[in-house]
Amino acid sequence: MRVDGIIYMDHHATTPADPAAVAAMRPYFEERFGNPASKTHIFGWTAEEAVERARGQIAALLGCAPAEILFTSGATESDNLAVKGIARANVDRGRHLVTAVTEHKAVLDSMHLLEEEGFEVTYLPVGRDGLLDPADVRRALRPDTTLVSIMAANGEIGVLQPICEIAAAAHEVGAFFHTDAVQAVGRIPVRVEEWGADLASISAHKMYGPKGVGAIYVRRRSPRIRMKPILTGGGQEGGIRPGTLNVPGIVGFGEACRVAQQNLPTEAPRLLALRERLREGIAGRIEGTRVNGSLERRVPGNLNLSFERIEGETLLMSLEGVALSSGSACTSKSVEASYVLRALGLPEGLAQTSIRFGLGRWNTEEDVDYVIEEVARKAARLRGPGAARIGVGSR
């Protein structure tokens, strides 16, 4: 996919909205502009019908009941709601929470805030492959643990955590299990019930829907989940997330889920083949590249590479005709090495040399071949005589 001649290969940061999602949204800005909370006229009923259709489309993709989906403004809000909402509503049971050091900041910073409120948080380390050991989770659990929050797929290195084992361990001590499934949904089959998740966060703009809309799955079956809302106001979304619903966004989100469900069986192997073409192409052209995170347990379109003796940021800035990133968009303004890569045990120098490739729906083999050539050309130039050298062996 090229826009003004530039290949977009940063699909973990965000994705372009699918034309079907955009087309579905349009009438809900125009003649079907009603508020779904308006119960006395057709404008409200039409909007409500659209919201409920979208709820069904999202539930179908996640493998749950429509009533278990609550709409939010995005996954940052869903993560906040899950972590703070569960912790604060279950203090009579305990004040201990478990998460991993490689979680998204929306989870980590919620945990930090709860620590200031008197909660105790265990931050689990990951292995060199970026994966958690379920035995470590088990050891961290206590009778007063109320929540375990572990992401399904990492946004930087794409690794897939052993969610089912972790959920089962959490349930053994009566703790709830939340998963940030933002980077998994639409990329791998997500079945929240089979995973044993009590709560899951998802975001439309990471899966070819619009920005500013997300959802949280909250399991309905017993034991009942007690959750404190963060916002107060009207009674929308069962009072858990009050506020007038973003109807056009929700409609686009639902349509994006429908398209994702339809595409997944063909799109996942296609992206995997592109990813392997990219990995082999770059490894064949540039010596001293290494893959960060497990290659086997990974979303198909993700590749995160470190380049010995080249600073990733310098390489990125030198690349022409391709949009890539050095880590999560939220932290990419900082010059520090990614906290996710540091957690894998990479030395600062090597962690700073990383580039994240995020392949998506409209990327082609030609895009991949161009990127291989461009990265190889610029890497050779940066490693050439007189070039500044950092990374392995330089510190």
Ligand X SMILES: Cc1ncc(COP(=O)(O)O)c(C=O)c1O
Q: Does 237 bind ligand X (CB under 6 A)?
A: no
Q: Does 210 bind ligand X (CB under 6 A)?
A: no
Q: Does 155 bind ligand X (CB under 6 A)?
A: yes
Which residue of this chain has its Cβ atom nearest to ligand X in the complex? 74
C-beta of 78 vs 306, nearer to ligand X: 78
Can you tell me which of 47, 57, 58, 74 binds ligand X, judged by CB under 6 A? Answer: 74
Q: Which stretch binds ligand X (CB under 6 A): 19-27, 178-186, 241-249, 284-292?
A: 178-186
Q: Does 151 bind ligand X (CB under 6 A)?
A: yes
- Let me know the angle formed at the C-alpha of 344 by 392 and 138, rounded to the nearest 5 degrees: 160
Whether residue 257 lies in the annotated active site: no
Q: Min. distance of Cβ 71 from ligand X in angstroms?
A: 12
Q: Which stretch binds ligand X (CB under 6 A): 68-76, 222-230, 267-275, 358-366?
A: 68-76
Tokens matching residue 152:
């399904």
C-beta of 101 vs 173, nearer to ligand X: 101
Tokens matching residue 305:
């590479």
Q: Min. distance of Cβ 253 from ligand X in angstroms?
A: 11
Tell me, residue by residue from 299 to 338, as one string, x for binding to ligand X by CB under 6 A and - for no binding: -----------------------------x-x--------
Q: Min. distance of Cβ 229 from ligand X in angstroms?
A: 18
Neighbours of 122 (CB within 10 A): 18
Tell me, residue by residue from 265 to 304, as one string, x for binding to ligand X by CB under 6 A and - for no binding: ----------------------------------------
Q: Which stretch binds ligand X (CB under 6 A): 72-80, 170-178, 267-275, 282-290?
A: 72-80
Phi-psi region of 357 (alpha: psi -120 to 50; beta: other; left: phi over 0): beta
Q: Which stretch binds ligand X (CB under 6 A): 26-34, 69-77, 170-178, 308-316?
A: 69-77
The residues binding ligand X (CB under 6 A) are 74-76, 79, 104, 106, 151, 155, 180, 182-183, 203, 214, 328, 330
State the catalytic residues. 330
